[in-house]
Structure 1
Amino acid sequence: MLINGTEINLANLEKPLLLMNEDEELLFQRLILPTIQYELIQCQLALSTRKSISLVRDFWLALYKDREQLYINSGHAMLYPIRLILFELVTKTEHFKRLSKKSFGDECLSLIYAVVLLQFILQWLKDRFQNNIEVYEAMKLLYRVNEDYLDEEQVPIPREHLIAQAIAVKAIRYEVKENAQEFASLLYQTYNFLTYLHDKVKEQEGNETNSLPSMRNVADILNLFYSERYTTDNPSFTG
């Protein structure tokens, strides 16, 4: 399908960080397609590229299944160090574990949680690094749309990408460590927002959460919270 003017095959995303079976892959594709089609501008960072959608899938599976029973695919993880560091930093937190208890076994709410969570995280990183030219350019290199067709298993990774990965991973790890309280606060706010969103979706769907909730309704809810803060005309990693 066409995303940001670029054709992206949802059946050919980056390799998953977690071990997952074919049925889980197909389920994610079925769920993510209508989500993207509604073009939620409030979640433009999370749903803009093959790379970001692949990370949504990582979070989705960890929320849908028992994270403690899932295993990292070490071969795939080596290909995507920036996805791996973000995944590890977020999923080990207490707020993520509490969210996963709410969404466990519910593929639809797990997807909504994953999309919103990644949007919050990427927006925070964008804000933190926008004045650091070296890191910001490295992040843009990794997430810009016109590089999204690359398959790291088939095309040798350019040296500039390897350098960008190293810069970005080191910077992300350092930023989270040095601003641990702020990062924890971000996840706490995200948890509170998603808890509210969870309750609103249940209310709208009459507690029937085994089918895909209306993403248009979710967009209305998101508008109440994002308004100006999470929609901006500033260049993004995915732009």
Structure 2
Amino acid sequence: MLVNGIEIDLCHLEKPLLLVSKEDEILFHQLIKPTLEHELIQCQLALSSRKSISLVRDIWLAMYKDREKLFINSGHAMLYPIRLILFELVTQEEYFKRLAEKSRGDECLSLAYAVLFLQFVMQWLKERFSDKLEVYDALKFLYRTTDDYSDDDHSSITREKAIAQAIAVKSIRIEVQNNRQEFTSLLFQTYNFVIYLHEKVSAKESKNRTTLPSMCNVAETLNLFYSQRYTTDKADFSG
């Protein structure tokens, strides 16, 4: 299907970081297609490429299931080191765990939360590394659609790409360590936004507000949240 004007085959996402059942794979595909059809301009970093959608699936599964009971597929983790470090940084944070408790077992709510968490984190990383070309070049493929289907084969990864990925992973880890308070605040603000969004949606709707379209059509609400409560000068939440 078309995502931001680019054709992406949702049946051929990257391999999952977590050991996942066939039923959960099918469920994710059933959920993500109508989500993308809403043309979520406000979340285009999180939903812009095969790589980023694959990471949304990883985070969604950790939200939907009990993260502590899920296992990393070590082979896939080696293949996608940048996805792995971002997954670990997000899912280890306390505010992620709090929202996961609220959404566990609710597939739609878990997906909405996963998209929002990844959007906030990728926006932060994009800003932090925009002037560091070596890292940025490796990182940008998460949200720029490329002909990356060959990446599913270990033998296709060149030495140069492996080095670039290693540099990006190390740089991301150091950046978060050196700015731990800021990164934690970022996820705290994401947590706040979700609570704020629920309040806005419930004020407009009397029906079930855990439905995915209600959670996703949030461009106006998101920009309002940015202007009122988010601690940066950035008003634009899109990529």
Q: TM-score, normalised by structure 2?
A: 0.88
Counterpart position of 1:230: 236
In 1, Cα distance between equivalents of 2:91 and 2:237: 25
1:194, distance to aligned residue in structure 2 (A): 1.1
1:224, distance to aligned residue in structure 2 (A): 2.8
Unaligned runs of 5+ in 1: none
Indicate the RMSD between aligned Cα atoms, in angstroms: 2.2
Counterpart position of 2:65: 65
1:26, distance to aligned residue in structure 2 (A): 1.0
Q: Is this contact kept in 2: 1:18–1:73, CA < 8 A?
A: yes
Measured at CA, do residues 142 and 204 of structure 1 come closer, stay the same or move farther in structure 2, by a change above 3 Å? closer
1:178, distance to aligned residue in structure 2 (A): 0.4
Paired residues, what number? 233
Counterpart position of 1:74: 74
1:31, distance to aligned residue in structure 2 (A): 0.9
Counterpart position of 2:174: 174
Counterpart position of 2:48: 48
In 1, Cα distance between equivalents of 2:219 and 2:183: 25
Deviations 1:125-175 (A, max 9, x none): 011011112211222255531233334227611222212101110000000
1:203, distance to aligned residue in structure 2 (A): 5.3
| Alignment-mate amino acid for residue 94 of structure 2 | E
Counterpart position of 2:8: 8
Q: Is this contact kept in 2: 1:103–1:109, CA < 8 A?
A: yes
Counterpart position of 1:139: 139
| Alignment-mate amino acid for residue 6 of structure 2 | T
Counterpart position of 1:88: 88
In 1, Cα distance between equivalents of 2:87 and 2:170: 14
In 1, Cα distance between equivalents of 2:67 and 2:203: 27
1:214, distance to aligned residue in structure 2 (A): 3.4
- Structure 1 runs of 4+ aligned residues shifted over 6 Å read none
| Alignment-mate amino acid for residue 35 of structure 2 | T
